Amino acid sequence: MPRSLTLVRHAKSSWADAGLTDFERPLNRRGLSNAPMMGQRLARAGYRADAIISSPAVRAATTADLIAEEIGFHRSRILRKHSVYAAGLATLLEVLTQIDNAHQHAMLVGHNPGVTQLCNHLCAGDLDNMPTCSIACIEFDAQSWEDAVREKGHLAAFDYPKNT
């Protein structure tokens, strides 16, 4: 049973309000434009998600909401996991093993450097950096999400806002 994981780095965030914590930072104008655009690209490619897991940080949650809207995934179904916020590779791998095996197509919206590390780990990639609002689609030939984490997948697609 093939599985696919779409990794998304949150869209560009604002640093305008120095009084906000890192967790509270919203998307800036470019981020608010790029997230729906990337969702539209996914929709045009026929992408669908069975599950979306997001960091609850404002910039990641908003990115997840905007992409979900474009691909027809109801926002109320997005699972916001605090463990994804500022997570390293080991934590993100653990999050993936907890995905219900009934879900074949999952999306994870998070932060760097963890998202880039996860991408490189899962598909033996050599990305230096996933830019803001970039999307990496990794495919696995695995029976479960635990198997997918143990086995290497392959990078089926990689896109980012400035890739026109």
Phi then psi dihedrals of residue 70, to 5 deg: -75, -30
**Per-residue pLDDT reduced to its tens digit, 149-163:** 998 899 999 999 999
Q: Which pTM does this prediction carry?
A: 0.96
Please count the other Cβ atoms lying within 10 Å of the Cβ belonging to residue 39. 25
From first to last of its 164 residues, what are the pLDDT tens digits of the chain? 689 999 999 999 999 999 999 999 999 999 999 999 999 999 999 999 999 999 999 999 999 999 999 999 999 999 999 999 999 999 999 999 999 999 999 999 999 999 999 999 999 878 999 999 999 999 999 999 999 999 889 999 999 999 97
What domains, with CATH codes, occur in the chain?
Answer: 2-100+110-150 (3.40.50.1240)
Helix (H) or strand (E) holding 135: strand 135-141
- Give the pLDDT confidence of 40-67 residue by residue, as tens digits: 999 999 999 999 999 999 999 999 999 9
